[in-house]
Amino acid sequence: MNEYLALDIGIVGPGQRSSEQEVSFCANASAALASGHDLIRGLIGPGVDASHSLERTHIDSVHHTARLLHLYLMTSSPAYLTQYESRNGKK
């Protein structure tokens, strides 16, 4: 494994270019890095205001996150594509 993409909420905050209507990006993979893995890493998720049972987001950010995840899986992950193609009879 050389890639790690986490899907989580992206907290909107001062000084950030994010909103509750967009996908939020980060490069957090601290648990994997602490385990000694050298990975290409990222974190995506819907932009969310607040946390700990007070989360607020917009349905658009959920749709944008799902679309970005789908595009990532279909274009950027050779291992996933190989498994998908073998299950669906494509070469």
**Residue 77: its pLDDT value, please?**
56
| pLDDT level of residue 78 (50, 70, 90 thresholds) | low
- Indicate the number of domains in the chain: 1
Q: How confident is the model at residue 79 (pLDDT cuts 50, 70, 90)?
A: low
- pLDDT, tens digit, 9 for 90 and up, residues 16-72: 778 889 888 777 667 777 888 777 888 889 999 888 888 889 999 999 999 999 888
pLDDT reported for residue 46: 93
* Boundaries of domain holding 25: 3-87
| Selection from 4, 7, 2 nearest residue 45 by Cα | 7
